[in-house]
Amino acid sequence: MPKKILIVEDNEDSRELVVKVLRNKGYEMVEAADGEEAVEKAVAEKPDLILLDISLPKLDGYEVAKRLKSLEEFQEIPIVAFTAHAMKGDREKAIIAGFEGYISKPVDIRDLPVQVKSFIRGKRESILNGDEA
């Protein structure tokens, strides 16, 4: 069975690029364009990985991650920040919110599938080290 990935990104071009790249690698893709839709789709679809933009309409990525990580069924599901803003303070906030790591935007289409694979395998990226996930 293909692994299912939820991509949460309000920028349509960016979201569609991620969907295209990962669908080509055989993943089943689910999309959400704002924070409320992200929570709804996550609960309904039970993805194996969530790529979550931080700046989103309605609820931001931190709030989405906190809400999902407060649910038992999401304890083991990696939530990865999909963001251009990977500053030191952001990392601390991301740890508190329950993110597993970062994937930097703009997306590197050759590196993205490699990063996704490692997060799905449960190889935790250290979000305390380096600027790039």
Nearest to 9 by CA among 17, 1, 78: 17
Whole-number minimum distance, CB 53 to Mn ion, in Å?
4
Do strands 79-83 and 101-104 pair parallel, antiparallel, or not at all (unpaired)?
Answer: parallel
Among 3, 10, 36, 58, binds Mn ion (CB under 5 A): 10
Interaction of residue 28 with Mn ion, rule CB under 5 A: no
Which segment (18-26, 53-61, 76-84, 109-117) binds Mn ion by CB under 5 A? 53-61
Q: Taking a C-beta distance cutoff of 8 angstroms, is the pair 104, 86 a contact? A: yes
* Length in residues, the chain: 133
- Could you tell me which residues are beta bridge partners of residue 102? 81
> Residue 133 in 3-state DSSP?
coil
Beta bridge partners of 101: 80
- Piece of 4-12, 65-73, 80-88, 123-131 that binds Mn ion (CB under 5 A): 4-12
Report the residue number, 37 or 53, with the smaller CB distance to Mn ion: 53
Counting contacts by CB under 5 A, is residue 53 touching Mn ion? yes
Report the residue from 55, 85, 109, 130 that binds Mn ion according to the rule CB under 5 A: 55
For the CB of residue 82, give the shortest distance to Mn ion in the complex, in Å. Answer: 9
The rounded Cα 115 to chain-centroid distance in angstroms is 11
Query: Which stretches of the chain bind Mn ion, using CB under 5 A?
Result: 10, 53, 55
